[in-house]
Structure 1
Amino acid sequence: MIKVSLHGAEFFAYHGFYPEEQLLGCRFVLDIDVEFYTTADLAADEITDTVNYEQLYNIAAEEMRITRKLLEPVAQCIANRIRHDHPYVENIRVELKKLNPLLKGSVAYSSVTITNNK
């Protein structure tokens, strides 16, 4: 099994339950892991024999631009798009962290993790 990961992808987006969160925006950090089997000869050194992490980033960037109230649908839509574009992928894990969420105390981040297995 091969695992391709994209960790620490940073975005500024307007996700949040409260109107001020959707107005002010917030910083987010995204981690994506995908696992798949291949029969390809990896020594051939062809990008078509793997999951291109640039494509993972582009999927995430497109979904992060769509404002949503909750983190769960953002992470789920990213996983769904990966599954659609790469149906051979066995396991998908998407963790979305909201940095410094608007709470009454100091919190480094809140997060949601979606796991999508075949």
Structure 2
Amino acid sequence: MSRIFLEDVKIYAYHGVLPEENLVGTYYIVNAELHTDLWKASESDDLNDTVSYAEINSIIHDEMGIPSKLMEHVAGRIINRIHEKFSQIDYIKIKITKTSPPMQGEMRGASIELDKMFKP
């Protein structure tokens, strides 16, 4: 199985249930894992034979820029947009971490992870 990873993409965004989260915002860390066949690109050295991680990064930034109450909703939108653009992807996993959630205690963040398989 071939995989593409985007790791620790840091984005300032405005998501959350509390009104102040949508006004103040915070940093989020996004990780993406994509499964697709990369062997043709390994032989051809042609961008048309692979999935552009620059375009994946752009999709992540676009969707993170749309305020939502739930990180689950954002992750679902990211997964759907990626698959719409690159239907050859068999599996997508997105992890989003809110680095400063408005909760008691000290922590590195609160995260959700959503994944979807597209082909058996």
1:112 equivalenced with 2:112 (yes/no): yes
Question: Quick check: 98-107 or 67-76, which moved more?
Answer: 98-107
The aligned amino acid for 2:49 is D
Q: Deviations over 1:24-71 (max 9, x none)?
A: 001000000100125625222111111111011000010011000110
Deviating runs (4+, > 3 A) in structure 1? none
**Could you tell me the percent identity over the aligned residues?**
29
CA distance in 2, matches of 1:116, 1:75: 11
* Count of aligned positions: 118
Identify unmatched segments of 5+ residues in structure 1.
none
- The TM-score, its normalising length taken from structure 2, stands at 0.93
Q: 1:39 to 1:27 in 2, by over 3 A?
A: closer
Question: Following superposition of structure 1 onto structure 2, how do residues 11-90 of structure 1 map, counting pairs within 5 Å?
Answer: 11-37=11-37, 40=40, 42-90=42-90
Q: Report SS of the residue matched to 1:40.
A: helix
Q: Report SS of the residue matched to 2:40.
A: coil
Identify unmatched segments of 5+ residues in structure 2.
none
- The TM-score, its normalising length taken from structure 1, stands at 0.95
